[in-house]
């Protein structure tokens, strides 16, 4: 009888702790980043030797469509494109395009796979390879 009571109290306190920490943990997602900010930027960013932003933005949309995405939104002034790919999973991608110096354009992509941020270099590498091919330009690593 005593053990049963102790056990109930134990389980209840564990539950309370879980609820408490769970709430804190889910809120902390707002500013969560697993990778270091600098490393993440370098994984997600490439430079291309062109100053034609519109061409790059159109190439981004064409590449996303090639990869099976439906475009959700795009803004020429801001230089952003967002798309989603559904294939038993949901892969959402935002791509931003901005000028870099006199001769280059920077492209940054960030993706979300189901409920997680994508921080693995390989998918980004694949995306930039495909984008480079569609523009006949080489994607250059940015440090």
Q: How far is it, in rounded angstroms, from Cα 79 to Cα 107? A: 9
Q: Are 56 and 105 in contact (CB under 8 A)?
A: yes
Q: Candidates 16, 70, 103, 141: give the one binding other proteins (CB under 8 A).
A: 70
Q: Is 7 in the site for other proteins (CB under 8 A)?
A: yes
Q: How far is the CB of 35 from other proteins (least distance, A)?
A: 14
Residue 51 is a binding residue for other proteins (CB under 8 A): no
- Picking from 103, 98, 81, 82, the residue whose alpha carbon sits closest to that of residue 45 is 98
Sorted by sequence, the CB contacts under 8 Å of residue 62 that are 6+ apart come out as 134
Q: Which is nearer to other proteins, 41 or 121 (CB)?
A: 121
127 near other proteins, rule: CB under 8 A: yes
142 binds other proteins (CB under 8 A): no
Tell me how far, at minimum, the Cβ of 7 lies from other proteins, in Å: 5
Distance CA 127, CA 130 (A): 5
Closest CA to 107 of 122, 91, 95: 95
Q: Using CB under 8 A as the criterion, which residues of the chain lie in contact with other proteins when the complex forms?
A: 3-4, 6-7, 11, 14, 54, 57-58, 61-62, 65-76, 81, 83-91, 111, 113-114, 116, 118, 120, 122-124, 126-127, 130, 133
């Amino acid at each position: 009888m005593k053990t049963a009571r102790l056990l109930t109290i134990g389980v209840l306190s564990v539950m309370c702790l879980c609820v408490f920490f769970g709430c804190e943990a889910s809120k902390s997602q707002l500013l969560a980043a697993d990778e270091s900010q600098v490393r993440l930027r370098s994984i997600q960013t490439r430079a291309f030797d062109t100053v034609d932003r519109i061409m790059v933005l159109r190439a981004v949309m064409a590449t996303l469509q090639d990869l099976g995405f439906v475009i959700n939104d795009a803004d020429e002034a801001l230089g952003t494109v967002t798309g989603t790919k559904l294939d038993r999973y949901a892969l959402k991608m935002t791509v931003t395009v901005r000028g870099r110096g006199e001769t280059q354009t920077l492209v940054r992509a960030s993706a979300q796979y189901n409920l997680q941020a994508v921080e693995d270099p390989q998918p980004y590498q694949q995306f930039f390879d495909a984008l480079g091919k569609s523009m006949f330009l080489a994607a250059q690593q940015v440090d």
